[in-house]
Amino acid sequence: MKLVVFALLVALAAAAPRPDEDAETLVDERQDNGDGTFNYRFETSNGLKEERVGTVGAEGQSNMQGSYSFTLPDGTVAVITYVADENGFRPESPLLPQDHPLPAHAVAQIAFAEEQRAKGVVFEK
């Protein structure tokens, strides 16, 4: 009996829909202007979305800004917006960890190190 129940569960699992595997591309728009500027928009049937705009940076690099989103296991949608330029990749989202104040012992160690540097103490690696 246990074997029959187990086989039935395996069959149900195999037949269950797999949204990620069955996802279809709904939107795929790309525009490259050939001068370092571009636009990109992508969306799938399982809720993945991305939009990105690229421009030429001051030092010849590609600067980008955009967003991407996806559905979390609890059904809520996670949205991350970002800027990527000469100052690095800077994402923003309420889902990302936020900065917290340094603990008192860390502040004390930083103050001690600054005092030592002011006295000319050299720290070696």
pLDDT in tens, 5-32: 444 445 545 544 555 678 899 999 999 9
Q: What is the pLDDT of residue 8?
A: 47
How far from each other are the two terminal CA atoms of the chain, in whole angstroms?
Answer: 67
Angstrom distance (rounded) from CA 53 to CA 41: 9
**DSSP run (H or E) holding 2:** helix 2-15
Which has the closest alpha carbon to 41: 69, 63, 5?
69
User: How do the domains of the chain map onto residue ranges?
Assistant: 23-116
Helix (H, G, I), strand (E, B) or coil at 31: strand
Angstrom distance (rounded) from CA 80 to CA 19: 22
Q: How many CA atoms lie within 13 A of 76 on its CB side?
A: 5
**DSSP H helices in 29-123:** 104-118
List per-residue pLDDT tens for the chain, 125 residues long.
Answer: 444 444 444 554 554 455 567 889 999 999 999 888 999 999 999 989 999 999 998 888 889 999 999 999 999 999 999 999 988 999 999 988 888 888 999 999 999 999 999 998 887 76
Q: What is the pLDDT of residue 125?
A: 65
Q: What is the pLDDT of residue 62?
A: 87
Q: What is the pLDDT of residue 51?
A: 97
For the chain, the residue count is: 125
